[in-house]
Amino acid sequence: MNKILSVITLLLLSTSAHAALNVFACEPEWAALTQQLAGDKASIYTATGALQDPHQVQARPSLIAKARSAQLLVCTGAELEVGWMPVVLRESANSKIQPGNPGHFEAAQYVTMLEVPTRLDRADGDVHAAGNPHIQTDARNFLPVAQALSQRLIQLDPANTAYYQQQLATFNQQWRAAIAKWEKQAAPLKGIPVIVQHRGFPYLNNWLGLHQVAELEPKPGMEPSAAYLGKVLNDLQQHPARMVLRAAYQDGRPSEWIAERAKVAAVVVPFTVGGTPQSNDLFALFDDTIARLLAALNH
């Protein structure tokens, strides 16, 4: 009997020692980055899909249930999830992942934010106080986020410190090499004038040197009317563009309308991991993004 109890105790201890860290990732890019850094040391739940608008998510009971058992929450922050995350946090009643605690991680805190507003007014549309939250479109931003996220994993799971350090070192080496490759491939895009459907690409533009000449939304988050699209089309006669960009999750009709009439390429950018069939991991996300932009130059 004592032997049986001893075996059960050892099994329980072993299971506890090797239990994966429960991670609640708000967006696919952060689930993918966590996977790169944590490997089999984490069990990762992704709260949103690649074809969902991360601004417009319902705080469903299933999300709340997953948040209730999470030890680490990994989100963009910068108010991207402001429409649903406060409800999930409140209803989960999980103290570990509340703001200010080690289990609450916001990627936007570790990068230089663009388009930080000088004033806040609801009349200006969907404007975020901390700046534009779509930080994941610049590959360089993943380096400081990975560094901070790795440190957080170590803080929460110190028994696997050496593993997390090795995973980070491997990721940094591979990611820096990939950035160099992407920047070389994307050199022909520098200075290319583009239209965007939603103000979701300032980081991509800043990284690759794309020159944004128009937006199809009159204000961030506001659907364009036919009259407004007509005005944009007229303005393009003075400031012509080569392509119009939209995120894969967005309704393609406004960009297709402009593309057809302005005789420019309509480019669907994956925007996050899984946004297109080709963007099935973090590296493929940028492989596919740059391939699609370069293909549009030959339109």
Q: List domains and CATH numbers for the chain.
A: 19-179 (3.40.50.1980), 186-297 (3.40.50.1980)
Question: For 43, phi and psi rounded to 5 degrees?
Answer: -110, 115
SS3 state of residue 131: coil
- Which residues have C-beta within 8 Å of that of residue 195, sequence separation ≥ 6? 212, 213, 214, 215, 216, 232, 236, 241, 243, 244, 245, 255, 258, 262, 264
Q: Which residues contact 100 (CB under 8 A, 6 or more apart)?
A: none
Q: What pLDDT is attached to residue 13?
A: 39
Segment-wise mean pLDDT, segments of 10 residues, the chain, 299 residues: 45 51 98 98 97 91 97 97 96 97 98 83 61 96 98 98 98 98 98 95 98 91 88 91 96 95 96 97 98 93
pLDDT at position 15: 39
Q: What does the pLDDT read at residue 55?
A: 86
* pLDDT of amino acid 125: 54
Q: Please, what's the largest Cα pairwise distance for the chain?
A: 87
The C-alpha R_g of the chain, in whole angstroms, comes to 22
Q: Which two tokens stand for residue 164?
A: 């997390």
For residue 221, the model assigns a pLDDT of: 78
pLDDT at res. 148? 98
pTM attached to this predicted model: 0.90
CB of 114 closer than 8 Å to CB of 203: yes
Instruction: Give me the pLDDT at residue 127, please.
Output: 59
